[in-house]
Amino acid sequence: MRIAFITAGAAGMYCGSCMRDNALVTALRKLGHDALLIPTYTPIKVDEADASQQKVFFGGVNVYLEQKFWLFRHTPRVLDRLFNFRWLLKFVSRFAVRTKYSELGDITISMLQGAHGHQAKEVAKLVEFLRDEKPDVVLFTNALLSGVIPEVKRQLGVPVLVTLQGDDIFLDELPERDRKRCFELIRENGRSVDGYISTSHYYADHMAAYIGLPRERMHVAHPGINLAGHGGAPDPRGARPLTIGYFARICPEKGFHRAVEAFITLRQRPGAPEVKLKASGWLGANNRAYFDDQLKRLDAAGLRGDFEHVESPGHDDKVRFMRSIDVLCVPTVYREPKGLYVLEAWANGVPVVLPAHGTFPELIEATGGGLLVDPGSVGALADGLSRVLSDHEFRARCGAAGLAALRERFTAEAMAAHTVTLLNQFVRTSAPITA
């Protein structure tokens, strides 16, 4: 099967959606499929071999210029290419990452208008490329790119599917008027969509209600990871102190402050063990002040010396991080649709303590790889961490259960095989969607 997968760069950040898309396309190729990973906005940033094409469509500079200035909506392609070099897109990403989502309503609406928006030139370029590549099916990484889908469907006539794996995180930040208009356009573009693939049953239910998309056209393919390089069962702890790990983007929505609060609460209890807190993950310039505030809280509690921060690591560093902790805790504020960091912990035999919302209950129910706690209670989070850290047999049992279930159900190969099964339903019976 020839599969075109349109992904989206995240302005130079490590991005869970990019990593999932990259792992999926790599695994699809290993299964013998001709899979293309086509980046938009900026080059993707992943900690494994980059499977994406060199050419970036809807390059961030051109999209911005076309939004702001009439002239750039009519410039020749030779000029557009000057603004679309990968090195330039990577450079401007340093500044784009600081832009607040709430300021992007107009450009998001224009993008969702597709051939009728200010980026009509970019729509034409991508559709022309896809027409030349002749895919059997086209997948999009999110619904925010759906403005191009009506034209893809009209000119190629092949099945088109949309992945649902985190659109609401962006849409929630838009002003209400802009958000409602985006919902309308996503539903309108959905008339040309054959189906949706969600990363969890929770997220399928949520997005159907949130945007008003048809739940009966949503399918679930849980994420998976490439196990190469991961360590399996953990090494003996030896003299190393018990360690709570936080591995995710360091930002309010991922709940780093809650991990800090729970750590302080746990350590201040009478008879508490000498537990450490260790954190890693992408830390952007826009979240440095937030991170510094958490360091001040640790200083005030007299626990700064028991905290360690590891700068955003590569893949080998990530594995070393996972093998240096005893429990993973990412107490997200928002409802997580994927949770790749949970799978990465299990790949190294590490149990998890997580809030009971989003995709986390599905993952824990499927694996037995940890504990769920009340999402709104720091005390409950501290209790969960205390139980896992104090009960060595329970901790080992949860870690082993997570690892076993991961190897069976949550590998990149399993994700790819399930995705192919879903795609075959559409490729073999494809017909234009008209309503």
Q: Can you give the residue ranges of every domain in the chain?
A: 2-225+413-430, 242-410
Q: Do domains 2-225+413-430 and 242-410 have the same CATH topology?
A: yes
- Predicted pLDDT at 117: 96
Q: Closest Cα partner for 11 from 56, 55, 50, 41?
A: 41
Residues of the chain with pLDDT under 50: 430-435
Report how far residue 192's alpha carbon sits from residue 188's, in angstroms, rounded to the nearest whole number: 8
- Predicted pLDDT at 101: 67
- Predicted pLDDT at 88: 67
> Is 2-225+413-430 a CATH 3.40.50.2000 domain?
yes
Record the tokens describing residue 188, joined without a space: 């309108």
- Predicted pLDDT at 434: 34
Cα end-to-end distance, the chain, whole Å? 27
8 A C-beta contact, residue 4 and residue 41: no
CA distances to 62, 126, 177, 356, 413 from 16, rounded to whole Å, are 25, 24, 28, 20, 17
Handedness of CA 224, 229, 231, 237 (dihedral sign): negative
CATH fold label, 242-410: Rossmann fold (3.40.50)
- Predicted pLDDT at 435: 29
- Predicted pLDDT at 238: 73
8 A C-beta contact, residue 103 and residue 68: no
- Predicted pLDDT at 432: 40
- Predicted pLDDT at 232: 64
